[in-house]
Structure formats: C-alpha cells, structure tokens
Amino acid sequence: MDSTTPLFAYTEQDFVCEVDRASGEPTTHSKFDLALRSGWKEAMSRGLFRYHLGELETRVLSGEAGYIAQLNIQRGIERRKPQEILSIRQKFDPKQFNFNKINPEEVLFEICRADPRSAESCHQNGATTGSCMVIINVSPLEFGHSLLVPEPARCYPQILIPLAVQVGIESVFLSADPGYRVGFNSLGAFASVNHLHLHGYYLNHTLRVEWAPTEPLVPEKCVYRLTGFPSAFMLYTEGQDPAGTAAAVCRLTDILVDRNIAHNVFMCRGCPPSSEAGPSGLRRGVRVCIWPRVSCFGSKEESAFNVALCELAGHLPFKNREDFNNIDEDGVKAIVQRYVLNDQHFTDLQQVVVGQLWGGLAK
C-alpha cells in the first residue's frame, strides 16, 4: 500500500462506552465516524465507486422479525463477478483479484490500535504491524460501505483470524453511531473474494439481532444462543477484553472451518443477553452473531437477494423492484430457510462446539 496512506491510531480511550438507540440520525459523531464518513463521501464525489449511491428506497416488513428491505438494483448489476470458490479452506491465489491490486485511491486510511504513549507505535522499523486497511467497497450496499482488510500484503485467505475480529469489534466501539455494523462472509457463504476482509457500513434502522432474546450456553464466557429465526451463536462484550472475545470467536469459527461448515458473522451494538430491553434504549456492548449455514459453491443466486451476513441479520438489499414490492415476512423466511441449519442440526453442532471449547463450563 502507498506509504502516504493516512493512519488512524486509537486506544481504548477512544471507545464510545454507550450509544442511544433512539430514532433518527445520531447528533454527534466520533473521530472514527468522521474519518470514515468524510473519506467515503469524498471518494463518492470523485467517482471512485461503480455507481452513485443515493438514499435507498426502504420499507420495514410487517411481522415479528422487522426485516429492513432496501432496493439496491445497481449493486446486483455492477458488483464484481464472484471468484470461483470450491472449498471453505481454499488457498489464496495471487493470480485472482485481491486487495493488493486495487486503485490506491480506494484506500481511506489504515487503522490500528496504538500504545497510548505514542501514535507511532503501530509502526515498527517502517513496517505496519497489527493493522487493517479501510478500503471503499466500490459496489456499496449502504452509506459508508467499506472493507476492513488486515495486513493485505500477508495475503490471508478468507478465514477469520483474531486480528480481523478484534479490529472489527473495536471499530464498532469506536463509532458513536448505533447503526454502524461489521460483518464477514466465509467462503461458501457468498464471500466473493478469497482475500481476508470484513465489511463495515451504516444502516439507520434497528435490527432485531440487537436485542433478540438468547439462551445461555457458557455464560461465564459470555457465549449464548440467539433464539428465534435463524438460530446463531452469540458472544457479547462491553469492551473490557476485545482480544479475548476475538480469540473465542476464532476458536469457534475454526471448528466450523475444520468441519467444512460455511458461516456468516455480524457485529453490532446490542443489549446484554440477560436484558429485557427492546428496540430502543442504550447499547453498551457489542453482539457478535455467528450463523453456521448451508454451503453454496457455484450455486444459482436467488433472484430477490443472496443470503449472507446482512440478510441473516435482517437487512435485505433487494436486486429487483418486483420482489422488493411484493415480498412479505413469510416469503423472506422461506428463502432464508434454504440456507440455514434446521434447529436439530444446529443443536447437534452446538453440543460439539460447546463441548470442544468449553466442556467443563457448559450449562
């Protein structure tokens, strides 16, 4: 990457301890929000995206799930053709498109956790360590849609590592906007590029995963099952030990990779697992939801929307107006059901994961 790339160094002192999930846009932005939003807007004004993203037509589907449907026809047409994926453990191929080949102008900034005594502690001997590049997604699904790419020159395949998860969690804590979310698609779960990256974007609507009820699995380790449809593993943190949470997430996803199970991950501000809070109120912590799912290798795409990280969380970018206008909650669930594990399959996997990772603590 270009040596002139701006550096966004942060410490825990930059974390926003709580955000208010009230209606409307937040009245204040953090330093992280300002850097991301201003850089993204400038890139849009300079024509660096494949299409201009204005305010998307949006409707909330009636029903318990509260699905947020958005019409984004251009993304379905203009996004880069996905690479051929044959395995969840597919090796990185330098001949394929990767984020070392992008236009340098697409890089917004480099982000890393710094020693509070020195903003230059991210750099050692001229090399960047433990950092991520924040790159615009040239086919955005919402405002601010960017990619977090950890140490791009190391050419990691699309398998989660603790650094990626930690930066993802911490970027949510760096934002003062409850609508900022981060997610990950594994190979076989509609990841289109086999070069490790997470997605970050803003969505100014409440999603049910922020407050949905849970069942304790290993409460001592803040591990729960997100109940309802579709079921997910959920880890919760209020920022005391992001590295520990990131390591736990990766231990879980490593089991999925070893068993060749595709998965999607979604990180957002959320209520504590034991709370009775609803759609409104304060969000002091971050929920990390992990959906094991049916793998898709070379399968035909859905006409309405593909089932990946944002769709499982309840945000539905539609490819065409007909489906956008006509679908209801039952129609959405019928599509999603084709890609997620049924309750019995999930429960069987849950026993394996909890037993293998936290057997002595499982409830």
The residue among 213, 18, 1, 186 whose CA lies nearest residue 109 is 1
Q: Are 269 and 210 in contact (CB under 8 A)?
A: yes
Structure tokens at 247: 């390591």
Q: Which of 287, 252, 7 is nearest to 172 (CA)?
A: 287
| DSSP code string of 28-65 | ---HHHHHHHHHHHHHHHTT-SSS---PPPEEEPSSTT
Which tokens belong to 302?
């859905």
User: 325 Cβ partners below 8 Å, 6+ apart?
Assistant: none
What string of DSSP letters covers 277-328?
Answer: --SSEEE-EEEEEEEEE---SSPPPPSS---SHHHHTTEEEESSHHHHHH--
Q: Which entry of 197, 199, 263, 315 is annotated as an active-site residue?
A: 197
Give catalytic status of residue 29 as yes or no. Answer: no
209 vs 203: CA distance, rounded Å: 13
154 alpha-carbon distance from chain centroid: 21
Q: Which residues are catalytic?
A: 197
